[in-house]
Each structure stands twice: as structure tokens, then as C-alpha cells.
Chain A
Amino acid sequence: MAAVAPQADPQLASSASTSSTGTIVTFADSSFLPGPNSLSTIAPNSRAIAHLTRDVLQSVLVQPATSSSTSTPEPVANLKRKQPSGSGSASLNTRFGSFPHSSLLVPAGSQVRSASGTGFIHILRPTPELWTLSLPHRTQVVYTPDSSYILHRLRVRPGSRIIEAGAGSGSFTHASARAVYNGVHEHPPSTDTTTGQADGTKEEKDGANSALGPALSDGSARPPATLTGSQGRVLSFEFHADRASILRHELRQHGLHQIVTVTNRDVCASGFSLPDPELDIGGNTYATAVFLDLPAPWLAIPHLTRENGSLSQTKAVRICCFSPCLEQALRTIVVLREQGWVEEDLVEVAHKRLEVRRMGPNGREIGAKSRSQGDDEIKVASVEDSVGKLKKQLWHRKAKQARQREKLAKRRKLDEDGNEEVQDDDSDVDMDANDDEETEEVPEVVEEENGNGRLHLFNQGRVLVRTEPELKTHTSYLVFAVLPLPWTEEDEIAAKAKYTLPPRPAPQVNPKTGKDYTSGGKAPKPSADGKLSKNQEKKLKKAQEKAARLASESKSTEDTDV
């Protein structure tokens, strides 16, 4: 039911007709996507993620052993940007040691030992989520809880076209590139597929190894005409020229440049769909989904129309605006309403990451730093424990007092002998002894032991859950809306002609009860020849009988009442 008719834009009709026969669909050469590079081994010249700890992930562009000397400076020197470590050198330096790139060419997911052998990391295949956690920040990043929800609500599917304005650090760009990806669709040029692919990989290598020429870095090195319209695309706009070029560079490194088109343009001023040589699908974007991460999305929204070709001609279009302030969101909604969008929805995503600990039997967290808990630790595990302990103390005290009394009595005896100095010393000793006794009083921990007689500390107590120490309580307000397809009176008339209405059924009124079934769904439907089915007749009869009975009953009750 949710099936969506295949893209049949009139503008794309020519390409669509050939796509059924002539289009070649190949896997993109990207470590982010399934295909030759996503095999289990990390390939040279591809992105990998070094997992140091849960919170510390480092991205690394793994270089082949041979090209380590000819590493190239990235065109980002003018920006004060943290260089992704390892991009310029042949080894990845982390706080757990140094890892030569040759040691990283292992099956993805492997644990890798550092050169010195003391520390180790896990090396992972990149995903948009891992990349989000490890990418160099240029602007505020759209994190996974938001981006996953947005992509879900925007119905971004393989083959979709999504406009993203305000590409920023490229986090959302990667996530949406994965979502729209449905292979790289190409019209067969004069050469066959295999050489085409070989060219692609060669080009890829060139892009990564040699200094990126200006021609290569714009993401449209391939002849634009060969890409077809049925391919999923991310149409990314960024008004900051440097950020746009860095993003292009990254996407090329990641092999996503055939899926994402980065355009350096201020969409608020110039709109989305100017004839642009960089848009290799003919200038018009024809998007079905729009994501605006702009300071003033209400300025860009009027540029989003079907008439100027920025929005799809054949499908409903969904939009999401990402604004940190409520005022921005409200203003956006007003403009959306004015522009004829419907189903507007203002939401906020509250996301929490949870931490799991274990609380030991004596109220302390196993696995937490006990140093930080200070001196006032809880030492008793339960009420019984506490009462029992205090009771024990009572008897200790009583015993002590008894002892002391005994001693006093003794001393009194001695006093009679006139010896006073010994008394003090004796009491001191008593006190010390008492202290020792108390420290020996230890709550008896139920200790589980393994076969070797060791403790299984990790299995004691109970599991606790709490939120991460630093919570993102607000990211942004999300404004969603849908732009339905235009529907004119002429369309309505045409549709009426195509799907003629059946003659209005005669009003079906139950003769006895007088109830009108016509508008309800429960009306007994007459079969084709106008007669009621046997079952329906039976039911009707029953209902009539019942009504009659009820009527007579009420009559009789009335009579009796009178």
C-alpha cells in the first residue's frame, strides 16, 4: 500500500525509458556502502574507524604501505581544523600507542596491537554513525538520534532525492547518502562496465594519493550526462566555500561523490534550482525530501516549489527544518503554512544514553572509582544488617563495660593498696583493644567463587542503569511538514471521469427500527441482483422480531405500571 510509483518525471522520461534497458547499476566503490570495498578486510586508501574507547573514536584514512612517502597535504590549511590523525603520516598515533598503517590492513573488527605492543585498539569499518562520532567538527553536528528520526520521518529511501541545505560538518550528508543509495546508475558509455569500474577505482586512487587537483575536487569529475535520474542522490548546499570544498574532498575519499552533489551556494538568496553545471542531473533537483539546517529556513522555503523544478513533480514532498530556537521554528511554521504545506509538526527529540553498572552487596558500585566516593560510604547492606550490627555493638559495649567494671573493682581493691598510676594506662589499652574488635567486624559478603577459589566480583550485587554523565538536553526543534501534490479542479474532473462514481445506493432504512444504514458501514449490502443474501435476511428478520418483542414488552410494562 505504501508502494510508490516509479519515478516518471516528464522531464526524465527520456532517461527513464532507457533505464529499463540500458542503465547499468553498479556498486559504489565506498567503504561506507556495500560493494567491493566493504569486504571484510580494510582496504588501502579507505576510511577506517579506530575504536579507542566507547567515547573516543578516531577516523583514519588508511594508506597503502608504498605511498606513505608521498602523502599529500589536504586543502584545508587555511582553516584551523584538527587534522584527522594519520592522514598525513603513515601511522596512527593514539593515546594507546602508535599503529603503523600497514598493521591496520586487517579484517574489519579486529583488535590491533600497537607497535610497542602495550596498547591496542579495534579497527572498524566506517558507518555514518561512527563517522559522526569521529569526524572533524566544523559546525554543530547533527547527531544520530536526530538524524535517524529525521530520515525515518522524511521517508528517505533508496532512489530518493534529498536536498540538504547547510551541509556543515557532513554528518547528516553521510547518513542520507546511505539512505538514498541504490547503486550507481550509469548509461553505458562506449566502454563496457568493467572498464568503467576500473576507471572509477583508478580515479579514486588518484584522488586519494596525488594532490587533489581543482578539477577533481569539485565532485563532478565524471561526465555528468552519464548518470541517470533513477539513482538516489543527496543534493547538498553549503554557503561556506571552504566547508563545501572540504566536504567534497571527504566525500571523494569516502567514495560517496557519485551519490552526493555538493554545491557552494547561499540557498536563501539564490534558491535550490538554478541551472548549475555542478548539478549533473540537469540543474533541477526534483527532490522528494528536504532537510534545512539553516539559521533562517523561512527565507529558503519560498524557493522550494514544484514550479521552479526544485521539488518533485510526481510525489508528495516532505521537509524537516532543524532550528535550535523556538522562535525560529515558529516562524518557519508560519511560512510553511503560507506556502501550502500541511501536516506541520513541531517536535523535539530527547535522547539519553544509558550506563550500566553493578551495585555490590554493600551498596557500592562495582566498577566505579571508589576513590571518588569519599569516606562516607554506605557500609551496611540492609536493615537487618544494620540492626544486627548495632545489636552486636551493644553486647560488645556491655561486655566492655562489664570488663571495665571488673577492672575498676580490681583497681579499687588495688587502690586500697594505694596504687593510682596504673589505672590510666590500663584504660588506654582497653580502648585500643576495643578499636581492633570493631574493625574486625566486617559484614559478611556472600562471595561467589569460581573453580580456582577466586571471587567473581562481576557477578555480585545487582545491575544498575543510569544516564550518561553529560546529557544533551536539547539539540534542536524539528519542524516537519508535507507538501501534497497540487490538485486543481480540472484534475478532479479528470479523475471523476476516470473513476466514475457508482450510482448512489438507495437509502437503506430498516422499516421497523427506522434506522438509516446508508451512511454507516454496517449496512446489509444487497447482492448484485438487489436481493439480500439468506444470512442477511435472517438477521433482518431477527432484528424485526426483536424490535416487535421489545415494543410489545414495553407496552405490557406500561400497562402494568398504570
Chain B
Amino acid sequence: MELIQPHDEVLIQLPSETTKLVKIVPDSIIGLGKFGSFPANSLLGRPYYLTWNILDGENFGLEPVPISELNSEKLATHTVPTTSSDPTKASKKSKATDSSTPSGVDSPGLALEDSAIGVQVGEDGEEDDEDVALDAGMLEQELEREQKLWEAEMKNNRDIRDDQTAQSMTWQEIEKLKKSGGTGSGKEIIARLLQSHAYIDKKTAFSLAKYTKRKTNKYLKRIRVIPADVPNFTHYLITQKEPLKMLEIRDEAMGLLMNWADVKWGGRYLVIDDTGGLVVAAMAERMGLLAGEDARAPKKVSSARKRKREETDDGKDVKEEEAPIPQVDTSEAPEIVEAAQREANDHPYNTPIKPKTGYEQTSIPVSNTITVLHTQDQPNLSLLRPFNFDTANLINTTTHPLSSHLLSLSFLQLLSPESDVTLERPPLITDEVLRTLKSVKRSNYHRKCRRQERLLNIVSSTRRGSFDGAIIATGMELSGVINTVTPLLKGSGQLVIYSPSVEPLSEVVDWCSTLRRTEFMRIKKETDAASEASGTSLQQPQLHVLDPDNTNPDIDPATLDTLKSLPKLPAHTSDEYFPIDPTNLLAPTIHTSRVRTFQALPGRTHPLMTSRGGSEGYVLHATRVFPILEGKVEARGKFGSRKKGGGGERSGGGGKKVKMSASLNGKKEDQMEVDRVD
């Protein structure tokens, strides 16, 4: 059952239509400010999405609000039959929701209907969902209903005076009622407020509904608990926390990112995430890395760690101790790894990285991984914490699926690993000496070795490339990022970039413009021809060359050898005209998507009056392709020669000539291709 468990972080929707992130610690009291407080235990073991009344006074705690009551309040503002008018439906409803407390007549929504909106409640509005057919009778009924609705709306606020005396109930009376506590106090207040309002009969149904809703939010302390999954958490962050920190990424953009990047279970992805880990969380969710028992909150991290420490104190070998802990997560059955390895044998890049000295958890999975590239020493993935994954405790803790499937390395470790500090291996300590050491020192030694090995494996696997896709959500200059990331993608892999504003992305598209690409190909062809003439060939695969000036002297020779055997990353030296290699990316396209929310109350349906401004959020996606490099020049030659002709004239000619060649070469992609076929 999907129930609220101890130490889960949940989101609580408050009557003020704001949300609060709360950790449900057993035996604690959760305070909600002016809305009161309740014991955490009254939420434990309960399902999500239920609505609760906060009870004060004697029976301190929470009381479930039946869904039928909630919904009938919404339905009541309409002519749609409610529970009171149709006993069969009421029984059905309570059956559907399994709420055994049938919504009583004392519910404010229903009382309201009886007294005030009674005018327009027509029994003819009855519609039975079982046999609704769009026959003529139905249609007539509907029209009639609509008519009545409009008549009801004809009531206007002409006779309503805006003054303080309209409400005859005093605040002292309200306070007194409030103090009396109990379940019914809120409802009673509302009922009394409605009764004692001077113009209640003159209000239109709609304004009455609005009034009631306002009062309901004020006096009924109702909360709803929703799970803090990625969409809910995103909404919480963007509306209430610091949206700038997560680049104001909205659900629409997140959905586009995930779909265009083709994020799926079993893939390998590269991420540059300046949203504090939100993009990583969304990917992990799509890859099944946030699900399952392992992804739950550890009961007590500190005690687990303590226990571990105690066990190490027994003098057993640490290796044996820690080996079983970081096993491959259960979301990926061991058989899969076999299958993956079988697959890997077919593919040179996918060869599993074997641990060298037998630290099990240093080997990294060959599929279903997220590789985070970061700029600092450590990635900023603080927003993963509510998903029970804390990067600060990466090595020490957990059985969380992410701890084995989330790989992180800095740009330095990727591009110039020989200059990195983490790749230093502590001086070897033999087993005999190791046994005599204090447990803290011993486990420190093992931890360092493990960290070094794991990083080395991450570096090797990342540099081998062949990623299924890459997601970039960063404020960094994009040319450098694209030049780093693109060569690591496999053919037809997707490069997807998120940006809060469009300008950085439009630049990228411009860097790949047809004109620029053509010119780039031409220049490249010329230089290639020149280099061929001089006898040097650039096509041979090369190995990584260590930076002689900045090699960390403390890295041991074995590691250096591994680094030397890594493939050289194809580098593009960006200049003013060609910041990125425009031939690598196919059809970069920018999308922007925005959701418009409606108030959905029949007769009163309209888009929300206000919504959040700020950044629109743009998503660019492009496909990694391999251009034809070898072979006849004529493939592009027909096009190139025309360009050459134009260029030649242009250099001599004046402005008019420029215009002409612009129209020749500067056509849209598809026109140009048509020309080529001719």
C-alpha cells in the first residue's frame, strides 16, 4: 500500500492554498502556524491525497473529511444533483470513496444550497452517467439548465452595499465559537456567518459560492497531504521557495526535457545540472531510481552508521563488512546486469569496468546510469535530499539506488584527469600493517582507495562516451559545454538544453545555421586537403595526452597508465565564427511550452486570472550525427562551388552583390536541399 511512512517527507496543502514541506517524524508534533498543529502519528500509515480536519481541544489530532463531502461542495454550486437530492447516488458515492460517514445535511455546502441556491436547483438537472446518450431530450434538459443558470446569474449586486454592517456576527462571537473547539465549530461558524449576513439572499449564486469558499478556507482547518514527488516538489519550489535556484524550471519544460532526451530505464545519460539536482531527480524518477524500498528514508541514518562503526571495531576485515551493503539495487535485478554484459560484449564501448583490487562498489553499472558533470569539487545536488538521497553521505550511507547509479565527476576530472587530486591513491599499506592500525585509520584508508578506484572507473567510462543522451540545464556559456558533451554522445543521441531565457539557445541554433555549417565544411575540407598534402592524417584515433605541466605528481604510475590509455576526446577549438562544430548537431530546435490553468466550475469556467510570470523556460534539442567526411567532394561540391562563385564575385563587388549571394545561399534548409536534388 502506498501509505505515509515514518520519516517520509510530504507536502501539506494548507487552507491558504500554500504548501509546506514536512518531514513526518514519529511521535512529534507538526505545527502549521496559524492553522494549528497536530501529532505526526495521526498521518502515519494513512494514504496520500486525503483531506483532514485539524481538530483542536479534546480530541487533538486529525479527522478525515469524506471525499463525497468535499466534492459535493463543488458540485453544490451547480444544478448538478447532489447527495441530498439523490439517495441512490449518495450511496454509490460513499461506496466509491469508501467513506462510511455520509455527508450530512449539516455540511455548509449543502445547507447553503437549501437556503440560498434553492431557487435554481432543479430536479430536472438530473443526469445519470450510466445511460447518458446525446439524445434530443438530454440536450433540451441541458439547455433548460443553462437557461436557469443564466436567470440565476441575472441577480446582480445592485442592492448590495459595501459596508461593514452587512455581517452582523461579531468577532467576539466567532472567537467564542472557535474556542468551543470540536469538529463542528468551523462549520458552525460558517453556517452562522451565512445566516447573519444581511445581503445573503441578494447575492448571486456565484458570489455566494465565492463567499462561502473564502469563509471555508478561513474557518475550516482543512489540510491535504500529497507525496513530495518530482512534479509536486517542483510546484512547491517554484511557488514558494527560491525559483531562481532551480532555474525556474516548470513541469512543462521538465516534461519536454525528459521526453526529448529520450530518458528511459536502461539508458546512459550525461547531465549538467544547475538546478540543484531537480533535473537529476526527474531523470532518476523516469529511470526507476527513486522507487522501491531502497529509496525510502533510512530509519535512522546516524544509528546505522554507528552500528557500522561498531562492527568495524570488531576487527573483522572491512572489505567483508561493506561488500554486501552497496549491492546493485533491487530495481535492477542481477540478471539484468548479466544481460547488459552480454550486450556489452557486442559493443566495444560498453565493456564493463572491472574493479582492480576487489572493492566491489567501485565498479559501476553499465546501464541505467546518470553521469553528472559539475564545475566545482562536488556536485550541487541538494534538492535530492527530500528524495532520501544526500550527496554529502555518498560513500558512507545508503542502499539508495542512486548511490550506485548516479556517477559524478567534474569537468577537470573528465578533460584533464591527471591534474585531479582525488585520483591520488594513498600509499599502499600491506594487510599486516593494516591489521594493526586503528579502525578509524583503516576504514579511512579503504575509503580513500575505494573513492580513487571508483572515480577512475567513472572517468574511463565517461570518456569512452556513447551516451544515449545529454541534458544541459546551466547558466554557463554553452559553447564550451556543447563542445565537451557532444562528442560523448552516441550517434542519433539527443542533446537537450534547458534555459530560462531564449537568448543563449537562439545563439546555439545560430551557431549551427546552414550558412555557417556550409562555410565550416568548406574550410575544413580545405585544411584537410592541405594536411593530406603535407602527409599528416588526422583521422587516426588518438589516445589521451597528459598535460605535462599540470600533472599531479602524486598520482601513481598505474593510474597514469590507465589515463594514458583513454581515448582522446575529439576537440573543437572554438573561435569567433565557429564556437561549436556545426556539423555534429542536426536540426537544433527550440521549444517553449506553457500550461494555462482554468477554474473549472461549470458556468464559471475561465482561465485563472493570475499566474506566475518570470521566465518562460525554453528547451532546445538537437541530434548528434556524423557528417560524411570522407569520399567525393562532390557530395557537397555542387553546393560549395556555387558558394565559391558567389563568394568570388562578392569579394570584388559592392553591396548589391552581397544581397544576391545572400539570397542564393541563405535559403531555408529545405529549399536548399531541393536545389541540391536538382
Asked whether, in the complex, the Cβ of A2 is within 8 Å of the Cβ of B229, the reply is: yes
| CB <8 Å contact, A298 and B506 | no
Q: Are B670 and A33 in contact (CB under 8 A)?
A: no
**Chain A residue at minimum C-beta to C-beta distance from B515:** A458
Interface: B426 (CB within 8 A): no
- Decide: A1 and B387 in contact? CB cutoff 8 A: yes
Given the interface pairs A153-B231, A340-B68, A354-B592, the reply to whether A487 lies near B46 with Cβ below 8 Å is yes
B218 within 8 A of A: no
| A33 neighbours in B (Cβ, 8 Å) | 264, 266
Q: Could you tell me the distance between the alpha carbons of A457 and B129 in the complex, rounded to whole angstroms?
A: 65
Contacts of A149 in B (CB 8 A): 251-252, 255-256, 593, 595
Interface size class of B (residues with CB under 8 A): 35 or more
Binary CB contact string for chain A from 153 to 171 against chain B (1 if under 8 A, 0 otherwise): 1010111000000000000
Q: Known: A148-B259, A371-B663. Contact between A356 and B339, CB under 8 A?
A: no
A111 touches B628 (CB 8 A): yes
Contact A158 B45 (CB under 8 A): no
Question: Is A109 among interface residues, defined by CB-CB distance under 8 A?
Answer: yes
The residue that A353 contacts in the complex, of B47, B292, B590, B597, with Cβ under 8 A, is: B590
Chain A CB count within 10 A is highest, among B264, B590, B655, for B264
- Closest-by-CB residue of A relative to B347 is A39
Contact (Cβ within 8 A) B339 A25: yes
A81 at interface, CB cutoff 8 A: no
Other-chain contact of A5, B3, B590, B634 (Cβ < 8 Å): B3
| Contact status B64-A492, CB under 8 Å | yes
Write the chain B residue with the least CB distance to A121: B673
**Which A residues lie within 8 Å of B667 (CB)?**
367, 369
| Given known A-B contacts A3-B295, A183-B266, A353-B590, A25 and B333 have beta carbons under 8 A apart | yes
Considering the complex, which residues of chain B in the window 55-90 have a beta carbon less than 8 Å from any beta carbon of chain A? 56, 60-61, 64, 67-68, 70-71, 74-75, 78, 80, 89
Residues 463 to 512 of chain A near chain B (Cβ within 8 Å):
463-465, 477, 479, 482, 484-489, 492, 495-496, 498-502, 504-505
Binary interface encoding of chain A residues 98-134 relative to chain B, with 1 for a CB under 8 A from any of its CBs, else 0? 0000000001111101000111101011011100000
Within 8 A of A (CB), among B477-519: 490-494, 502-503, 506-507, 509-510, 513-516, 519
Q: How far is the CB of B487 from chain A (nearest CB, A)?
A: 12
Q: Does A431 contact B (CB under 8 A)?
A: no
The complex places the Cα of A38 from the Cα of B627 at a distance, in Å, of 20
Q: Does the CB pair B256–A145 fall under 8 Å?
A: yes
Cross-chain contact of A129 among B33, B260, B576 (Cβ < 8 A): B260
Does B424 have its Cβ within 8 Å of any Cβ on chain A? Answer: no
B654 at the interface (CB under 8 A from A): yes
Q: Is the CB of B67 within 8 A of A342?
A: yes
Instruction: Check if B264 sits within 8 Å of A179, measured CB to CB.
Output: yes
- Please name the residue on chain A nearest to B621 by beta carbon: A129
Indicate whether A111 sits within 8 Å of B627 (C-beta atoms), given known contacts A2-B290, A145-B256. yes
- Interface 9-mer from B95-103, B192-200, B209-217, B305-313: B95-103
Q: Which residues of A contact B262 (CB under 8 A)?
A: 127-129, 178
Q: What's the least CB distance linking B160 to chain A, in Å?
A: 28
Residue A518, interface by CB 8 Å = yes
Contact stretch, chosen from A52-60, A65-73, A533-541, A546-554: A52-60
Task: Judge whether B590 and A34 touch: CB under 8 Å.
Answer: no
Q: A347-B595, A367-B515 are in contact. Are A334 and B75 (CB under 8 A)?
A: yes
Known: A111-B627, A351-B592, A487-B64. A158 touches B291 (CB 8 A): yes
- In the complex the two chains form, is A348's CB within 8 Å of B491's CB? no
Instruction: List A contacts of B669 (CB < 8 A).
Output: 53-54
CB distance from A118 to the nearest CB of B (A): 6
Distance (whole angstroms) from the CB of B87 to the closest CB of chain A: 14
In the assembled complex, the Cα of A148 lies from the Cα of B468 at a distance in Å of 18
Q: Give, as a whole number of angstroms, the nearest-CB distance from A350 to chain B.
A: 5
With a cutoff of 8 Å between Cβ atoms, the chain A residues found around residue B44 in the complex are 495, 498-499
Q: Which A residues touch B503, using CB under 8 A?
A: 463
Contact A108-B491, Cβ < 8 Å, known A453-B651, A484-B67: yes
In the assembled complex, which residues on chain B have CB atoms less than 8 Å from the CB atom of A341? 71
Residues of B within 8 A of A353 (CB): 589-591
Contact check: which of A159, A370, A499 meets B663 at CB < 8 Å? A370
B177 in the interface, Cβ–Cβ < 8 Å? no
Task: Report the nearest A residue to B509, measured CB to CB.
Answer: A356
Residue of A nearest to B35 (CB): A519
Residues of chain B contacted by A179 (CB below 8 angstroms): 264, 286
Q: For the complex, is B438 an interface residue (Cβ under 8 Å from A)? A: no
Q: Mark B618-641, 1 if CB is under 8 A from A, else 0.
A: 100001111110011011001000
A220 interfacial by beta-carbon distance below 8 Å: no
Q: In the complex, A340→B591 CA distance in Å?
A: 36
B294-346 contacts to A (CB < 8 Å): 295-297, 330-333, 335-336, 339-340, 343, 346
Does A427 interact with chain B (Cβ within 8 Å)? no
The number of residue pairs between A and B whose CB atoms lie closer than 8 Å in the complex comes to: 457
Contact of A35 among B5, B258, B343, B626 (CB under 8 A): B343
Residues of B within 8 A of A463 (CB): 503, 506-507, 510
Asked if A334 and B662 sit within 8 Å, CB to CB, the answer is: no
> Contacts A338-B129, A349-B252, A458-B515; is A155 near B591 (CB within 8 Å)?
no
From B237-245, B428-436, B447-455, B598-606, the one touching the partner chain is B598-606
A129→B31 CA distance, assembly (Å):
46
What CA separation (Å) do A152 and B145 show in the bound complex?
37
- Is residue B359 within 8 Å, beta carbon to beta carbon, of the partner chain? no
Q: Please state if B510 and A356 are interface contacts (CB–CB under 8 Å).
A: yes
Instruction: Verify if B287 is at the interface (C-beta below 8 Å from A).
Output: yes
Whether, in the assembled complex, B1 has its beta carbon less than 8 Å from a beta carbon of chain A, the answer is yes
- Is A487 touching B47 in the complex (CB atoms < 8 A)? yes
Evaluate contact between B37 and A519: CB separation under 8 angstroms. Answer: yes
Q: Is there a chain B Cβ closer than 8 Å to A330's Cβ?
A: yes
A383 contacts chain B at the CB level, 8 A cutoff: no
- Report if A329 contacts B (CB, 8 A): yes
- Would A352 and B343 count as touching, CB distance under 8 A? no
Q: Are A367 and B2 touching (Cβ within 8 A)? A: no
Q: Given A148-B258, A356-B590, is A316 in contact with B2 using a C-beta cutoff of 8 Å?
A: yes
Contact indicator A107/B626 (Cβ below 8 Å) = yes
- Asked if B673 and A53 make an inter-chain contact with CB atoms under 8 angstroms apart, the answer reads yes
Q: Are A305 and B96 in contact (CB under 8 A)?
A: yes
Residues of B within 8 A of A449 (CB): 651
Contact in complex: B100, A489 (CB < 8 Å): yes
CA distance A148 to B592 in the complex (A): 13
The answer on a CB contact under 8 Å between A354 and B39 is no
Interface segment out of the listed A201-209, A273-281, A385-393, A520-528: A520-528
- Given A129-B260, A158-B265, A354-B591, decide whether A333 and B291 contact each other with a Cβ distance below 8 A: no
Q: A398 vs B668: C-alpha distance in the bound complex, in angstroms?
A: 45
- Cross-interface CB contact of B288 among A182, A302, A342, cutoff 8 Å: A182
Residue of B nearest to A456 (CB): B577
CA–CA, A453 to B627, complex, Å? 27
| Chain A contacts with B in 19-49, Cβ cutoff 8 A | 20, 23-27, 33-36, 38-40
| Binary B-proximity of A238-272 (CB < 8 A = 1, otherwise 0) | 00000000000000000000000000000000000
Interchain CA distance A347-B668 in the complex, whole Å: 35
Contact yes or no, B662 A457, CB < 8 A: yes
- A314 CB-CB contact with B under 8 Å: yes
Known: A1-B388, A144-B260. A95 touches B677 (CB 8 A): yes
Question: B51 at the A/B interface (Cβ < 8 Å)?
Answer: yes
B586 adjacent to chain A (CB < 8 Å): yes
- Whether A345 sits at the interface, judged by CB under 8 Å, is yes
B507-556 with Cβ < 8 A to chain A: 507, 509-510, 513-516, 519, 523
Q: Provide 18 A-B residue pairs closer than 8 Å at the C-beta atoms, listed in order of the A residue.
A: A2-B290, A6-B292, A26-B336, A27-B266, A95-B674, A96-B676, A109-B626, A110-B626, A117-B632, A152-B254, A340-B68, A348-B607, A350-B595, A354-B591, A366-B662, A367-B662, A370-B663, A501-B42
Give the 6 A-B CB pairs with smallest separation, nearest first: A521-B31, A109-B491, A486-B98, A1-B9, A158-B288, A148-B255
13 additional A-B residue pairs with CB within 8 Å, beyond A109-B493, A346-B600, A505-B29: A2-B386, A6-B293, A53-B587, A54-B589, A127-B494, A148-B258, A178-B262, A315-B2, A351-B592, A368-B668, A485-B1, A504-B60, A521-B30
